[in-house]
Amino acid sequence: MLLKVEVRTEADGQQVIHGRDVKRFWEILSELLPAHEGSHAVVGLVLGLAVDFVTLDENEATRLAGHPAGGATKPGYDGDPLHFAAFNIAGIVWEVQAGIPLGLSLAASPTDVGRFATAAPTEDERQRAWGLAQEIIEAHRSSIIAIADALVAKRRLSGDEIRSLIDRTTD
């Protein structure tokens, strides 16, 4: 599983992400997808949101997202827009920490971005939600990696399975 990405520009001007031509960006993102979804799950659960399941099944993810998607995390909503915004931006925060340029990560996750912007409509609210997600991700990195590894193996985890992994791997 990919956890860190190197981005550089070659002498000829070609952009390279993780040793591959930028044109292979979607391939790189698909390798980060288990941790992206694990980040949503961990941030949601730490903030007290119900997380029903996480899936890498494209059909199930597409039904949940409403457009083609490689993965999805099904949350509950506790009524706190800051929590919902942090939950929705968590996967992008993970990707940026892994080295994916912010603009590319935002473009690849339209549902996350739309829900984030709706829950956090002002710049101050967006910064607070981003910071909250970042803080939780940094504090629970081993749990996110454990969830990502389990997702690669099983393709779908229930909320109970996710909570159990978090309990066993709390940093």
pLDDT band at 154 (very low <50, low <70, confident <90, very high): very high
Domain ranges of the chain: 7-166
Does residue 4 register a pLDDT over 70? no
Does residue 171 register a pLDDT over 70? no
Q: Quick: pLDDT tens for 74-132.
A: 887 778 999 999 999 999 999 999 888 888 888 888 889 999 999 999 999 999 999 99
Q: Quick: pLDDT tens for 57-75.
A: 988 888 888 777 888 888 8
Determine how many CB atoms are found less than 10 A away from the CB of residue 4. Answer: 9
Does residue 24 register a pLDDT over 70? no
| Per-residue confidence (pLDDT) for residue 29, from 0 to 100 | 74
Q: How high does pLDDT run on average in the chain?
A: 86
Rounded CA separation 56/119 (Å):
25
- SS3 category, 98: helix
Residue 48 gets the label, from left (phi > 0), alpha (psi -120 to 50) or beta, of left
Its pTM stands at 0.85
Does residue 167 register a pLDDT over 60? yes
Domain 7-166 has what CATH class?
mainly alpha
Alpha-helical (H) ranges within the chain are 25-46, 58-65, 81-98, 102-108, 110-119, 123-139, 141-154, 159-169
Rounded CA separation 35/16 (Å):
22
Does residue 37 register a pLDDT over 60? yes
Element (H, E) at 51: strand 51-55
| Per-residue confidence (pLDDT) for residue 22, from 0 to 100 | 53
Does residue 23 register a pLDDT over 70? no
| Per-residue confidence (pLDDT) for residue 5, from 0 to 100 | 58
